[in-house]
Amino acid sequence: AQSVTQPDIHITVSEGASLELRCNYSYGATPYLFWYVQSPGQGLQLLLKYFSGDTLVQGIKGFEAEFKRSQSSFNLRKPSVHWSDAAEYFCAVGDTGGFKTIFGAGTRLFVKA
C-alpha cells in the first residue's frame, strides 16, 4: 500500500534562510506527488505537483520540489523563507490506479526573526 513519510514533525528556520522539507513515499509505480500548505485555521492549498517529466517542479510562493525516484523522495525547498511562510506543510501521493490521495502527517514550519 502507498504511504507518505514526513520525518520532521516541526522545523524552525530564521527569516531569510533556506528551507528544505523532507518527504519520502512508498508506491509501486510512478506516483502523482503533491505539496500542500495549511495556514492556521485554514484549509489546505496546493503549492505544487508532480505527474511526469521534469523532476524539478516550480510552485507558488517561490517554492520548488525535486522528485528523486532512486530515493523515493519529493523534498520541498525555498531559497529564502519569509515570516508569512510559517504554516503546516503536507506531502501527498495520489493513487494513479484509483481515486485516493494519501497524506503525510505534516511538518510544521516556524520562522524566527
Partner 1 sequence: NAGVTQTPKFQVLKTGQSMTLQCAQDMNHEYMSWYRQDPGMGLRLIHYSVGAGITDQGEVPNGYNVSRSTTEDFPLRLLSAAPSQTSVYFCASSWQRDTYEQYFGPGTRLTVT
Angle at 104 between CA 98 and CA 109, to 5 degrees: 145
Q: How far is the CB of 77 from partner 1 (least distance, A)?
A: 20
Q: How far is CA 41 from CA 34, 46, 88, 94, in A?
A: 21, 16, 11, 25
Q: Is 39 a residue that touches partner 1 (CB under 8 A)?
A: no
Q: Which stretch binds partner 1 (CB under 8 A): 16-24, 53-61, 75-83, 97-105?
A: 97-105
Q: Is 17 a residue that touches partner 1 (CB under 8 A)?
A: no
Q: Is 59 a residue that touches partner 1 (CB under 8 A)?
A: no
Given the complex with partner 1, which of 13 and 93 has the nearer CB atom?
93
Whether the Cβ atoms of residue 90 and residue 36 lie closer than 8 Å to each other: yes
Among 44, 76, 87, 111, interactor with partner 1 by CB under 8 A: 44
Report the distance separating Cα 15 and Cα 32, nearest Å.
Answer: 31
Amino acid letter, residue 23: C
Report the distance separating Cα 82 and Cα 69, nearest Å.
Answer: 30
Q: How far is the CB of 46 from partner 1 (least distance, A)?
A: 6
Q: Which stretch binds partner 1 (CB under 8 A): 53-61, 62-70, 79-87, 92-100?
A: 92-100
